[in-house]
Amino acid sequence: MLIRTRRGWELPESRATSEDVFLNRRAFLAGGASIAAIAGGVDPAAAQWFSSSQPNMARKPDPTDDLYPAKRNEAFSLDRPLTEEVTAAGYNNYYEFGPSKNIWKQAESKKTRPWTIKVDGLVEKPFEIGVDDLIRRSQLEERLYRFRCVEAWSMAVPWTGFTLKSFLDIAKPTSGAKYVRFETFMDPQMAPGQRQSWYPWPYVEGVTMAEAQNELPLLVTGAYGKPLRNQFGAPIRLILPWKYGFKSIKAITRISFTAERPKSYWEQLQSAEYGFWANVNPEVAHPRWSQATEQVIGTQQRVPTLPFNGYGAEVAHLYKGLEKERLFV
């Protein structure tokens, strides 16, 4: 067995671009994790290091197999090639299963059925719905979206899902609802990362009602023309293509409508570095690295990062009058 031990405080700063490098330092000091998550775009060699183990591309049968591939919505086209499935499936952030990018294997232990989603808070009537029920009641479509992680790497993925907007018709929020709060499953037995008590589990994210009503946010249930793989956040996740990747929460079990702004997982951990809005902006550097360019995973290319990740025409208007807020963190 190959054991990589590198003491956290010895990481060269140029490679320390991971969202949780700070945490790993704490973990090392506490004698915890033995793998440092130091991948990101700054050092392409580091990115290759993480994709050195090829994911197993065989898939188990899924109760929604008959719904895929869904019809592609041609309105969402790309300025770059799609990332190869095997590349995207072998380079993930999923801290419930560990701090490395190479968690596809660990994520196989996630049990994705039965799976229910609790809908509560400021809604006409709280309810629970089985994920297959929800998927079959919704209109699935495929969209090609760019995806930009705050660590300055990017990919382009054909996601399948339904709009968050369409889900609002099912959830029926009341007029007092100002935010939508999403929560990931909590099961430390199944997800070893959740046994690490210095993380504020479960993973939480949120958007405003105005953002939820926009055409772009997708509740994603598939990728590459198939039901979602575990490492991508099966059976259902959010995708917000104009925001840094950490906003796109995986494996959702609860959706709540609130009057108060939810405090996300990363904000709870490090509010100096991660805030609520997290809109992609090449001009606002992360406190520890530039956001001007991004490493396209699976290639040797670095390309300029676009404001709102190239989706400004669709979403920039949502932020008028909010200029005083930390919109790009």
- Using CB under 6 A as the binding rule, whether residue 203 contacts ligand MTE is answered as yes
Question: Which residue lies nearer to ligand MTE by CB, 194 or 214?
Answer: 194
Cβ 295 to Mo ion, closest distance in Å?
Answer: 13
Cβ 310 to ligand MTE, closest distance in Å?
Answer: 17
Nearest in space to 18 (alpha carbons), one of 208, 273, 320: 273
Nearest in space to 22 (alpha carbons), one of 199, 204, 154: 199
Note if the bond before 304 is cis, omega within 30 degrees. no
- Using CB under 6 A as the binding rule, whether residue 143 contacts ligand MTE is answered as no
Rounded CA gap, 59 and 91, in Å? Answer: 17
Which of ligand MTE, Mo ion, none interacts with 267 (beta carbon under 5 to 8 A by kind)?
A: none
* Alpha helices by DSSP H, the chain: 21-29, 44-50, 85-88, 104-107, 131-137, 164-171, 209-212, 265-269, 312-315
Which residue number places its CB atom closest to ligand MTE?
245
Question: Which residue lies nearer to ligand MTE by CB, 64 or 106?
Answer: 106
At 286, list the tokens: 């992360």
Dihedral class, residue 251 (left if φ above 0, else alpha if ψ from -120 to 50, else beta): left
Question: Which residue lies nearer to ligand MTE by CB, 96 or 142?
Answer: 96
124 contacts 267 by C-beta, under 8 angstroms? no
Question: How far does CA 73 lie from the centroid of its chain?
Answer: 21
Question: Which residue lies nearer to Mo ion by CB, 246 or 328?
Answer: 246
- Using CB under 6 A as the binding rule, whether residue 184 contacts ligand MTE is answered as yes
At 300, list the tokens: 């040797």
Rounded CA gap, 110 and 252, in Å? Answer: 13
Question: Which residue lies nearer to ligand MTE by CB, 161 or 245?
Answer: 245
Which of Mo ion, ligand MTE, none interacts with 20 (beta carbon under 5 to 8 A by kind)?
A: none
Size of the site for ligand MTE (CB under 6 A): 16
Cβ 103 to ligand MTE, closest distance in Å?
Answer: 8
- Using CB under 6 A as the binding rule, whether residue 249 contacts ligand MTE is answered as yes
Question: How far does CA 48 lie from the centroid of its chain?
Answer: 21
- Using CB under 6 A as the binding rule, whether residue 92 contacts ligand MTE is answered as yes
Question: Which residue lies nearer to Mo ion by CB, 100 or 258?
Answer: 100
Which one-letter amino acid corresponds to residue 211? E
Cβ 18 to Mo ion, closest distance in Å?
Answer: 9
Query: What does the DSSP 8-state code read for residue 52?
Result: T
- Using CB under 5 A as the binding rule, whether residue 221 contacts Mo ion is answered as no
Give the footprint of ligand MTE on this chain (CB under 6 A).
19, 92-96, 149, 184, 203, 232, 245-246, 248-251
User: Residues in the site for Mo ion, rule: CB under 5 A?
Assistant: 93, 149, 245-246
